[in-house]
Chain A
Amino acid sequence: MGVGIVGYGVYVPRFRIKVEEIAKQWGDDPETIKNGLLLYEKTVPNMDEDTITISYMAGKYALQRAGVDPKDIGALYIGSESHPYAVKPSGTVVAEALGITPDVHIADYEFACKAGSEAMFVAYSHVKSGNMKYAMAIGADTSQGAPGDALEYSAAAGGSAFIMGTEGLIAEILYTYSFTTDTPDFWRREHQMYPQHAGRFTGEPAYFRHVLSCGRKLLEMSGLKPSDFAYAVFHMPNGKFPQRAAKILGFTKEQIEPGWIVPWQGNTYSGSSLNGLSATLDVAKPGDLIFMVSFGSGAGSDGFIYRVTERIEEVRDKAPKFKELINSNKMYLDYGLYAKFRGKIILNPHV
């Protein structure tokens, strides 16, 4: 009996900021940034949005596509590196709002940008083991980049939700694999507002080692070649890394194109490869094979191989698609408003 995705949902906020606006603030050359990162603008959450509200929207859309009763969801896992509380789960608020409580298992996950895909990993395993009928995994973030740091250009907000089940599959999960080592390329100490990173070390020894190791093992396990796949999705910290990883593994630009959303969305961290997967499911055809490898600093990669089913055509239009959300109702902010929205301004302590 197959196990896989029965419903998916994606959400990004309506506000944006352009690379030019951030570059102007810090005296960087915007063209250099744009060419170096292959990134042009990113999503910014409204002052009233956070990982919980983003997860809610993604989860709501996933339920619309899945067409299941929320009360049948046996587990809800949210992976993020910007959970609104340090202690108190995001999952309980979202589950309460979606009408999933109280007969549900909830846990919040963290593993830098991989927190979403690992939630998927666990949700999938619960269903595969026969433990529960449906389990929901969400990867969402409102990640912060330190003012003036390179990451400020890419740290964005958004997320996706996936309901795993055995009935009504839209994408069967054929293979999964995780590759993990202790590699401290990017981290955030407790009570620190912004993360730190080890510069160029985040490339070869971190992102590429784990994505490529995971990707190669996944291909080996499945016995498939890159050309067997219709699409490939990789974690996208910027526009260049996923292009290079794809090329090294043998995937083409066309294969990664629908999921290569980072130039207009930015890096949604735990929602990065997940949003890429949603954008891909928005266009995939029945029978298509999709290859996905995430990456989380610290470091690790989760890999999945999906096979899209007939049912995708029936449910795709039941909730907004990524392209609609990323292109419509956009509102651009200047840096001052961006800093205010993101809480980067020091307020009078009395407030």
Chain B
Amino acid sequence: MLTPRVYKEIPQRYRLEANKCKKCGKVLFPPRLVCPCGSEELEFYRLPSKGKIATYTVVRTPPQNFSYQKPIVIAVVELEDGTRIMAQVTDLPPNANYHEYVKVGAPVELVFRKLFSEGEAGIHVYGYKCRLL
């Protein structure tokens, strides 16, 4: 029953809501109560939705709830403001040699997609993925 857990992360997964330290300028995603620099003076911040691939892999043995989609390509994306997040790379040609398309440095945009469904009768869980531009 994922609802209570998933509900809490909606602002992050749907709207990329983060916060930013007023003292040192570090962007915190997901938002935190205290910055690693020690300051608790934090302000609202939204992540940009474009960036490039910093590193990636093709996961050929994903966990059971993703096995229908395997293999899944996961990347660390460095967004335009320097923040890094991890996201699946979607909209790739199926069964292709992914390495011909996905490369370190490739520009991507974040998109709103269904991450997975909780079995046959549970909720659909939505969030961000990225796709090549």
**C-alpha spacing A211/B8, complex, angstroms:** 47
* Measured CA separation A348–B93 after assembly (Å): 26
Interface of B, helix, strand, loop or mixed by DSSP: mixed
Question: Does the CB pair B91–A52 fall under 8 Å?
Answer: no
| Min C-beta distance of A118 to chain B, whole Å | 24
Complex Cα spacing A340 to B95, Å: 13
Is A228 close to B, CB under 8 A? Answer: no
Known: A48-B129, A52-B126. A96 touches B10 (CB 8 A): yes
B124–A48 CB distance below 8 A: no
Q: How many A-B residue pairs have CB under 8 A?
A: 56
- Inter-subunit contact B90/A57 (CB<8 Å): no
Complex: chain A residue closest to B128, CB-CB: A97
Stretch at the interface among A108-116, A150-158, A256-264, A329-337: A329-337
Residues of the A chain whose Cβ atoms lie less than 8 Å from the Cβ of B14: 93, 96-97
A53 touches B93 (CB 8 A): no
Interface membership of B32, Cβ < 8 A: no
> Chain A's nearest CB lies how many Å from the CB of B50?
13
Whether the Cβ atoms of A48 and B10 lie closer than 8 Å is no
**Given A47-B68, A48-B129, A50-B124, CB of A57 within 8 Å of CB of B111:** yes
Interface residue count on the B side (C-beta < 8 Å): 21
Q: Does B69 make an interface contact (CB < 8 A)?
A: yes
Query: A84 interface residue, CB < 8 Å from B?
Result: yes
| Least Cβ–Cβ distance between A341 and chain B, in angstroms | 8
Q: Nearest residue in B to A60 (C-beta to C-beta)?
A: B112
Interface assignment of B114: CB less than 8 Å from any CB of chain A: yes
A46 touches which of B91, B95, B123 (Cβ 8 Å): B91
Among A46, A48, A88, A351, the one with the most B-chain Cβ atoms within 10 Å of its Cβ is A48
Cβ of B68 and Cβ of A48 under 8 Å apart? no
Given contacts A57-B112, A329-B91, A331-B93, contact A52 B124 (CB under 8 A): yes
Contact of B112 among A46, A56, A351 (CB under 8 A): A56
CB-defined interface of A313-351 with B at 8 Å, one 1/0 digit per residue? Answer: 000000000000000010101000100100000010001
Tell me the minimal C-beta distance from A50 to chain B in angstroms: 6
Chain A interface SS verdict (over half) = loop
Q: Does A85 reach chain B (CB closer than 8 Å)?
A: yes
Hey, what's the 0/1 contact readout for B116-127 against A, CB within 8 Å counting as 1?
Answer: 000000011010
Interface size class of A (residues with CB under 8 A): 20 to 34
Bound Cα distance A333, B129 (Å): 21
C-alpha spacing A15/B93, complex, angstroms:
9
Q: How far is the CA of A50 from the CA of B5 in the complex (A)?
A: 22
B94 within 8 A of A: yes
**B99 CB–A CB distance under 8 Å:** no
Within 8 A of B (CB), among A26-81: 46-50, 52-53, 56-57, 60
Q: Which residues of the partner chain A approach B69 to less than 8 Å between Cβ atoms?
A: 47-48
Residues of chain A within 8 A (CB-CB) of B64 are 351
Neighbouring B residues of A96 by C-beta, 8 Å:
10, 14-15
Inside 8 A of A147's CB, which chain B residues have their CB? none
Q: Closest CB-CB distance, A130 to chain B, in whole Å?
A: 30
* Cβ contact within 8 Å between A52 and B68: no
Contacts of A47 in B (CB 8 A): 68-69
Identify B113's interface contact among A48, A329, A351, CB under 8 A: A48
* Residue on B nearest A15 in the bound complex, by CB: B91
List 10 A–B pairs whose Cβ atoms lie within 8 Å, in order of A's numbering: A48-B114, A49-B114, A50-B114, A53-B111, A53-B114, A53-B126, A57-B111, A84-B114, A88-B123, A99-B15
Chain B: residues with CB nearer than 8 A to chain A?
10, 14-15, 64, 67-69, 90-91, 93-95, 111-115, 123-124, 126, 129
Interface residues of A (CB under 8 A from B): 13-15, 46-50, 52-53, 56-57, 60, 84-85, 88, 93, 96-97, 99, 329, 331, 333, 337, 340, 347, 351
